[in-house]
Amino acid sequence: MSQPTYTNKISHFLSLIKRSIRGDLHDYTEGSIKVAIILLAIPMILELSLESVFAVVDIFFVSKLGPNAIATVGLTELAITLIYSVAIGLSVAATAVVARRTGEKDPDGAAHAGMQSLLIALLVTAVTSTCGIVFAPDILKIMGAQPDVVKEGAIFTRIMLGGSVVIILLFLINGIFRGAGNAAMAMRSLWIASALNIILCPSLINGYGPFPELGLKGAAIATTIGRGVGVLYQCYYLFRGKSFIKIKASHFKWDTPVIKTLIEIAWPATLQFVIQSGSWIVMGMLVARTGGTDATAGYQLAIRNIVCFN
């Protein structure tokens, strides 16, 4: 008697896993809380684990180029953690407001809140991208990079920071999908971005097949393209009107009260992650300033191992 019951439970759990990965529509305001948690948690766990793949993939393939390249990637990633913090803060705000409107059965309000968060993101990325393009060598110097690292790696930092728009939009639009109850779509966009990065990174660094040999610059281009394609996939699904959120032109009209609400939710989350990442940034700067390029390269490889296994 107990065996069929146990088998049924396993079968039910496996069916929930399949549903969560497929992204089947589900009303999370009704039914079992346990089922809702499983349907949301599985794709979110897979999504967040894939985000760390970018840094690990970059450092893995770039490590063949020597200590200067490793140091460049590591120090640039430390600087980008500040952009991650802004992206996560905006994502938290978008998820919270969109989820509330979704729970109220107000798809128009959810879509409006999501598009208002996009307006904020575009303004933020205009600043971050411009600063990254213009001040890339100075940012590496501030992080403690040696002159030869700055000379060799400025182009990598310029491309990565200049392309910060895809970083922020990738996080933010995923937050909109999660708020609307479609965590699987957020997961799939990261799958696409990560897979493309894994393919393009060695190809553009070493010049495999039809690709030119671009060295360190190729790693930055590959990562930016990977994230960019992920964002395009998100936008295709978001704007084609076949999800709970249906976008209208009126949703892009500046709405000060909604913008204010989003910022009030976003800034504490942003500050939290800035504080959290601050210790990593300070440690990276100390190692770079006191130990030089070789110490920085070794430290960054060790950090990526920690990220990979955690």
Return the pLDDT at 300: 86
DSSP labels for 21-79?
HHT----TTSS-HHHHHHHHHHHHHHHHHHHHHHHHHHHHHHGGG-HHHHHHHHHHHHH
Rg, the chain, Cα only = 21
Left, alpha or beta for 145 (phi > 0: left; psi -120 to 50: alpha)? beta
> Percent of the chain, pLDDT > 70?
91
With a cut of 50, say whether residue 1 has pLDDT above it.
no
Left, alpha or beta for 27 (phi > 0: left; psi -120 to 50: alpha)? beta
Cβ–Cβ contacts within 10 Å for residue 284, how many?
23
Cα 139 vs. chain centroid, distance in angstroms?
Answer: 21
With a cut of 60, say whether residue 34 has pLDDT above it.
yes
With a cut of 60, say whether residue 309 has pLDDT above it.
no
pLDDT tens digit sequence for 263-302: 999 999 999 888 888 888 898 899 999 988 999 999 888 8
- No. of helices (H) and no. of strands (E), the chain: 9, 0
Cα 29 vs. chain centroid, distance in angstroms?
Answer: 28
With a cut of 80, say whether residue 10 has pLDDT above it.
no
Place of tokens 């994230």: 227
3-state secondary structure of 242: coil
Contact 15, 39 (CB under 8 A): no
Mean pLDDT of the chain: 86
Picking from 130, 222, 218, 224, the residue whose alpha carbon sits closest to that of residue 169 is 224
**Cα–Cα dist 273/125, whole Å:** 18
Return the pLDDT at 301: 84
**Cα–Cα dist 233/188, whole Å:** 9
Return the pLDDT at 2: 46
With a cut of 90, say whether residue 130 has pLDDT above it.
yes
Phi/psi of residue 26, each to 5°? -150, 135
pLDDT tens digit sequence for 204-259: 999 888 888 899 999 999 999 999 999 999 888 888 766 667 888 888 999 999 99
Helical ranges in 143-182 per DSSP H:
147-162, 164-179
